[in-house]
Structure 1
Amino acid sequence: MSRRRVDDRAVGIGCALLMVAVFAGFNIVSRLGSETSMTAWDLGFLRFTVGGLIMLPIFVRKGLAGLSFGHAALIALLGGLGFALSAYAGFTLAPASHGGVLLHGTLPLFTFLVGLCFGYSIRRRAVPGLLLILLGSALMVYDTVGAPNPVQIAGDAWFLLAALFWSTCGILISRAGLHSTAAAPIVVVLSACVYVPSYLLLGDLDELMSADPRDLATQAGFQGVIVGAFSIFIYARAVESLGPNGTAIFSATIPGVTSLAAIPLLGERPGDLGWWGIAVVTVGMLATFLVRFVGRQ
């Protein structure tokens, strides 16, 4: 393997680890945002307005990167509007712990299933690791979901839909050979072109501006800068180096990282099965990663 290829994979792994930190933070900060006067629509507005302004100069310079408008719009619909609106809808109906498990923990499974529809194959040596990821996710679901009410079931469904959207977006970015510096502005700016006018027409900007300045600054900084712009870039960069399957494997650690971070930040602790689920998912992720990148293909 060439030195250049090794360096590229190292950058991809670094971006995937950053992605884990950002999306775990997304669960925590979104949970905190739900406890303020801001609504899910408000969080979406901050995400796409701030992120769109940051990415606009890059989008103007790079445009659609050779994609047809329809292809670019589909990627933006899935990875931008579809993912964000589904995730925020889930957070308004179900606890953040559900999001950690169902929104992020199922990404590897959805990515492999969607990949099969696009002609990707699964190496047999990777199956045990994938089964461990599935088992660990099931343990965490059983521990955190318990016996949900109908409202929580609807929130869980939104989380699963968001995971499907994000996984499909990753597959499409990979198949298009889209560079990360082009994928991020396409997703964010095209989403902003739809979301921002809709919010200004139907939302309550005055109510948003009356929110606590500290809450507003926190959500604008995290949802707009880190999640709205930065997360798309690092995710696309990880997919560029590791592929959608390799990147999705890292996402299996997000429920565990979220649970650990929630202990000091939210005062939430997983039960015994939750800890077992975290351990099993981590082992499954490592097993699949070693087969994918270290073992002979």
Structure 2
Amino acid sequence: MEKPLAPAATRAAADPPLSDRFVGIGCALLAIAIWGGWIVSTRHAVHGHLPPATVGWLRFIVPATVLAPAWIRVGLWPKSGLVPFVLCFFGAGGIFFLVVANAMRFVPAADVGPLLPGTMPLIVAAISVLFLRERLGRLRALGFLCIALGVLTLGGRGLLFPEDGAWRGHLLLLSGAAMWAGYTLAFRRTGMKATEIVGLVGLWSTLILTPYGLPGVIDAVSSGYGMEVLVQLLIQGLLSGVVALVAFGIAIERLGSSRAAAFTGLVPALAALIAVPVLGEHPDAAAMIGVAATGVGVALASGAFGAPRASR
């Protein structure tokens, strides 16, 4: 008698309630809006007066300090779910930041969006289907195909005709996308709150980066670049290091890993739109197609068009 109820229960678990869906979508959009500006800010910093380790230290010292009450409750490391937490650390901590920041030294900002936040949801979807036995459904599968089309359209020219040495940056960005995918999939399995994970990742990242990053901060301030340090502290530390990561964590909790990851596919399109007023770069026809395909893909892959099913 219980067998007919199992599919309904499974569908209810797969489809989040409408209220959770709205909260998750809002948090995901907030996170990707911040990350769209973060790409430009990080590339400017590592090509300016701040080395990658210094920019990374500025990013993680803020969440380690602001979210100290959260990680103090947990301790220096979680008592359970240690392996998922380690994956979260490698996927969103200091090592991940150094990989991505060094990649930006070899490639233009236009390549970062398609290869990092653009490919991450595709990796998450592939792992979810192949190893976690998640069923995407036709609409969501079509959405991920549209994201792939948009990513290839936005970044295809840079990949087909890379600048000298750009292959190093491309390889690092793809490695970073795989690390970020691990964070997205492991987040819910830690059993911790978003503030606890972000704070603890910030703590360990700060400890690792302090010997290399803090001297760079002191040198920059002594050389008269204190305002640049302050700006990076705001963008990297507060917005990207705290607000975006906590918001994305809530999105993962409310929507699930693959649905939340789909929203990061909007970052390349958002970066292309930001480039119009900030850099004076107007998108051509190929870029406009990529922006449209990515937007439609995220809407489908996130489940925004699917009506939540109620279990009987």
- Separation in 1, partners of 2:309, 2:217: 56
Q: CA deviation at 1:295?
A: 6.5
Deviations 1:216-238 (A, max 9, x none): 11111111111122222111111
**Aligned 1:129-168 pairs, distance under 5 A:** 129-168=143-182
Q: CA deviation at 1:107?
A: 1.6
Alignment match, 2:80: 67
> Post-superposition shift, 1:275?
1.3
Which residues in structure 2 correspond to 1:124-273 (within 5 Å)? 124-125=137-138, 126-200=140-214, 204-209=216-221, 210-273=223-286
2:260 matches 1:274: no
Q: How does 1:43-54 map to 2 (within 5 A)?
A: 43-54=55-66
Q: 2:43 aligns with which of 20, 26, 31?
A: 31
- Given that 1:79 and 1:165 are in contact with CA atoms closer than 8 Å, whether structure 2 keeps it comes out as yes
1:105 counterpart letter in structure 2: G
Q: Is the 8 A contact 1:48 1:192 kept in 2?
A: yes
- 1:111 and 1:179 mapped to 2: Cα distance? 21
| TM-aligned CA distance change 1:117 to 1:169, over 3 Å | farther
Matching residue of 1:18: 30
Once residues 217 and 211 of structure 1 are traced to their aligned partners in structure 2, the CA distance between those partners, rounded to angstroms, is 12
Which of the two has greater helix per residue? 1
| Distance (Å, rounded) in 2 between the aligned partners of 1:150 and 1:67 | 46
Could you tell me whether the CA contact under 8 Å between 1:83 and 1:163 is conserved in 2?
A: no
Distance, in Å, in 2 between the alignment partners of 1:89 and 1:165 is 15
TM-score under structure 1 normalisation? 0.89
Find 2:95's aligned residue among 66, 70, 82: 82
8 A contact 1:130–1:284 mirrored in 2: yes
Q: Is the 8 A contact 2:52 2:102 kept in 1?
A: yes
1:65 CA displacement: 5.0
TM-score calculated relative to the size of structure 2: 0.85
Q: Distance in 2 between matches of 1:251 and 1:71?
A: 21
Tell whether 2:121 aligns with 1:99.
Answer: no
Larger Rg: 2
Gaps of 5+ in 1: none
Q: CA 1:256–1:142 in structure 2 vs 1: closer, same or farther (change >3 Å)?
A: same
Matched residue type, 2:99: S
SS in 2 for 1:253: helix
Alpha-carbon offset, residue 105 of structure 1:
1.0
**Residue 42, structure 1, aligned to residue 54, structure 2:** yes
Q: CA RMSD in A?
A: 2.4
Length, aligned pairs only? 293
Contact 1:52 1:229 in 2 (8 A): no
Q: Please give the secondary structure, in 1, of the residue aligned with 2:104.
A: helix
| CA separation of 1:136 and 1:70: change in aligned 2, threshold 3 A | closer
| Residue type at the aligned position of 2:162 | P
Gaps of 5+ in 2: 1-11
Deviates more, 1:116-125 or 1:168-177: 116-125
2:6 aligned with 1:6: no
Q: Encode CA deviations 1:52-83: one digit per residue, 9 max, x unaligned.
A: 22222321123345435454333212221232
User: Shift of residue 48 of structure 1?
Assistant: 1.8
Change (3 A) 1:120 1:182: farther
